[in-house]
Chain A
Amino acid sequence: MSSVPMEMKENTVASSKWLDAHYDPVANLYTFTSCIALADLHGDGENKLVVGDLGTGACNMKLKVYRGTGLLSENTLLDLPTGLVSFLMDKHEPRTPAIAVASGPFIYIYKNLRPYFKFTLPPLEVNALEQDVWSQAKEDMIDPMTLKEMLEGIRDKADIPLSVRSLRFLMLEPQDMEEFVNLHKQQPIRRQTVITCIGTLKKNMADEDAISCLVIGAESRDIYILDPEAFTILCKMSLPSIPTMMDVTGQFDVEFRITVACRSGNIYILRRDSPQPKYCIELSSHPVGLVRMGKNVVVGCAQETLQCYTQKGKKLWTTYLPAPVTTMAMMDLPTRGFQAVLVGLANCEVHVYRDKNLVSTIKTPDVVTSICFGRYGREDGTLIMTTKGGGLIVKILKRTAVFEEKDSVPGPPLAQSIRLNVPKKTKLYVDQTMRERENAIAMHRAFQMDLSRMRLAAARAYVKALESSQTPMSASLSEPLKMNAVVQGLGPSFKLTLNIQNTAACRPVMNLAISFLYDEALYSMRTAFFKIPLLVPGLNYPIDTFVECLTDKGISDVIKVFVLREGKSAPLLTAHINMPVSEGLALN
């Protein structure tokens, strides 16, 4: 129906692709896409939702597991989670996946939802000078003030940054320094980095249930690959900047590729054989989300754009978004051969993009902060979203849903990009163009002169009409009137109806009269002059009169109507009525 607004239509069409399975606005889940995973934790064919909940502020960090619509279990986390993945770490039966939660410099591994192992990133090299200064302090060779000065000197010059201990010391007030030194001087200095992102990489088989290595990105600009069983570092790679998001594909023993988005706004691509990044994509603004689609990378940028690059860093397309990106995820439905990118936006919408085409829009009650698409419970096409306010939304893709290949973004129609079959230029066309090019000035002048003449003629005619009050609209301000006349009948009798309207806002008009002027040899009128009643503003007054045509020669003439004001000879309004030819015969 054409009366349905476009936006509503779009919304109903889009929402009809999804079934609303569950919505809990107060689920108390505060998380990001990097901390949410779907996994068959119990090996019963029913996938659970595993969430690293950041809680509110610095407390209530939890590892939560959902089954269907309900919370199945909760484990307290010691620190804020930065990433969470599920992976198969061994070949033991039953093949249930382990959960790895990264927080700070640690990875906590859970098996059967029980803590199983804690991995710590190797400490970083400590500045030798710093070490020296502290050992002097340990032997009480220097006082805290000297220690402070020396550390400040190192901080400003050295290549290797200070440890957290020294940095904290430098922040202290003088009276607290002594106590701090005594408390810490016995312990060795350690410099620790933190994990920024985590992913998984199949070890040597591509199967769905193959063992996977953990891949971690650290604040120290390094990428580590860990052995799944021994948790030793299999491989370490360095980046020019700090990694923030990561996509991993391939197999560790064969060939792999790690796409890393960095805090500098660059994306680097690492490969098995090269410890240095192989390719670099320089983005125009910071990356907010990263999804790999086959061999291409789709990046959501801070400048409200979605950009696609090839593996080698060549830009394929850019799509402009209506709002800033909050998060991104991959929508993969292998059973239907469908892949798309899910983009959460700050305007409470989630967009589904297939290549650069928007194929579906989902409106959400709150801004979405994390998205996960996959098999949940026993349903393959489940979309899980958590919101800024801590809500949990579960939607299920309908079995019958089809995504139109066509772009549903309002914009230039498809036809615009179809090339028209324009015929070849004719000789005449070329001659005309030449003439126009050569005589442009003369042609322009001729045109301008004719235009001015036409304007003059129009103005003259208008003045004349005004002077003789020939307009059907009264120009006088005291009697703003409008009139039109209608002739009805076939003849020789005609009915003449004059519709008169007072167009003033509130003032009535009085003392008006109407008179007709006509050829008395052709027409006769019962009354050729009458008075008009008081005209109330806004109302239409139809005034009827009858005209008799006296000739049977098939000729017609004009009857002039004048609206007059009592005591004035110039008419207020004039109308010329072109009488039709009388078609009937007089009976007499």
Chain B
Amino acid sequence: MGLFDKLAGWLGLKKKEVNVLCLGLDNSGKTTIINQLKPSNAQAQDIVPTIGFSIEKFKTSSLSFTVFDMSGQGRYRNLWEHYYKEGQAIIFVIDSGDKLRMVVAKEELDTLLNHPDIKHRRIPILFFANKMDLRDALSSVKVSQLLCLENIKDKPWHICASDAVKGEGLQEGVDWLQEQIALSNQNDENMRPS
């Protein structure tokens, strides 16, 4: 990064662009979460199941996010892997109320983690245990147990309980993600020969 870019970054003139993949089973609330993170004037009123995928953008204090909101329906899940190369971070959304399909979410997560484009990268993964407002929702601890998140050793990860309809729990997750990206940028710069 040149001095000017850095200066622009500090002054908030030009933000660093980050590509994020938003993954998870259908109906888990991916689109609802992304919608909440957008500026209120750009938010959609009603949310329908995503077909294929859609690209959304939102900004935080230091970063400009480009989100690939993938469809979680079974027949579109094979599209996910085509975007793994571009992704610099992953948001993985789980419906904490859908106990039955927790195994399916785990299966998709394991497939993702073992994919050659992901396996050897230190890509940060943010988990949202969404729909925590539902009466029979599992806690984020239980969700991380069922998905065996403790086995992820070579990637930074974080799980937050969230309620995407009210927007609760989302900020905590995004703050963590921003921090991780900042950290990895520092490392990159430290490693770069000058």
Contact = CB atoms under 8 A, between A and B. Distances in A.
A68 B103 contact: no
Interface string A379-403: 1100000000000001010111000
A377 B75 contact: no
Contacts of A394: 100
Given A335-B74, A335-B75, A376 B107 contact: no
A69 interface: yes
B27 interface: yes
B107 A21 contact: no
Interface in B84-138: 98-104, 107-108, 111, 136
Nearest to A379: B101
Interface in A69-83: 69-70
A68 B77 contact: no
B26 interface: yes
Given A335-B74, A399-B77, A379 B104 contact: yes
Contact of B26 (A69, A378, A396): A378
A380 B74 CA distance: 9
Interface of A: 19-22, 68-70, 335, 376-380, 394, 396, 398-400
B107 A19 contact: yes
A396 B99 contact: no
B93 to A, nearest CB: 14
A306 B139 CA distance: 47
A378 B77 CA distance: 14
Contact of A379 (B99, B100, B108, B136): B100
A377 B100 contact: yes
Given A70-B136, A378-B27, A398-B107, A21 B101 contact: yes
Nearest to B26: A378
B103 A69 contact: no
B75 A378 contact: no
A68 B107 contact: no
B103 A378 contact: no
Given A377-B98, A378-B27, A19 B103 contact: yes
B74 A399 contact: yes
Nearest to A45: B27
Contacts of A377: 98, 100-101
Interchain residue pairs A-B with the least CB separation, the first 7: A68-B100, A19-B103, A69-B99, A21-B103, A21-B100, A377-B100, A69-B100
Contact of A396 (B27, B75, B103): B103
14 contacts: A19-B107, A21-B100, A21-B102, A21-B103, A68-B100, A335-B74, A335-B75, A377-B101, A378-B25, A379-B101, A379-B104, A380-B74, A396-B100, A399-B107
Contacts of B100: 21-22, 68-69, 376-377, 379, 394, 396
Contacts of A70: 99, 136
Given A19-B107, A378-B27, A396-B104, A68 B75 contact: no
Nearest to B74: A399
Interface of B: 25-27, 74-75, 77-78, 98-104, 107-108, 111, 136
Contacts of A68: 98-100
Given A377-B100, A378-B98, 20 more contacts: A19-B103, A19-B107, A20-B103, A21-B103, A21-B104, A22-B100, A68-B99, A69-B99, A69-B100, A70-B136, A335-B75, A376-B100, A377-B98, A378-B25, A379-B100, A379-B104, A396-B100, A399-B74, A399-B78, A400-B111
A396 B74 contact: no
- Among B74, B75, B108, B136, chain A packs the most CB atoms within 10 A around the CB of B74
A399 B100 CA distance: 15
A335 B108 CA distance: 19
Contacts of B99: 22, 68-70
A54 B78 CA distance: 42
Nearest to B75: A335
A19 B99 CA distance: 13
A54 B61 CA distance: 62
Contacts of B102: 21
B49 to A, nearest CB: 9
A396 B99 CA distance: 13
Nearest to A19: B103
B101 A396 contact: yes
A66 to B, nearest CB: 10
Contacts of B103: 19-21, 396
A68 B131 CA distance: 15
Nearest to A69: B99
Contacts of B136: 70
B148 to A, nearest CB: 14
A19 B105 CA distance: 11
A484 B78 CA distance: 69
A160 B15 CA distance: 91
Contacts of A380: 74
A22 B99 CA distance: 9
Contact of B101 (A335, A378, A400): A378
A396 B108 CA distance: 13
A16 to B, nearest CB: 10
A51 to B, nearest CB: 16
A379 B75 CA distance: 11
Contacts of A335: 74-75
- Among B103, B107, B111, chain A packs the most CB atoms within 10 A around the CB of B103
A383 B134 CA distance: 26
B116 to A, nearest CB: 16
A178 B74 CA distance: 70
A133 to B, nearest CB: 60
B74 A19 contact: no
Nearest to B49: A45
A242 B98 CA distance: 44
A396 B101 CA distance: 8
A20 B111 CA distance: 17
- Among A378, A399, A400, chain B packs the most CB atoms within 10 A around the CB of A378
A46 to B, nearest CB: 8
A375 B26 CA distance: 14
Contacts of B27: 378
A543 B47 CA distance: 93
Nearest to A396: B104
B87 to A, nearest CB: 20
B94 to A, nearest CB: 13
A396 B100 CA distance: 9
A20 B104 CA distance: 9
A394 B104 CA distance: 12
A21 B100 CA distance: 5
Nearest to A70: B136
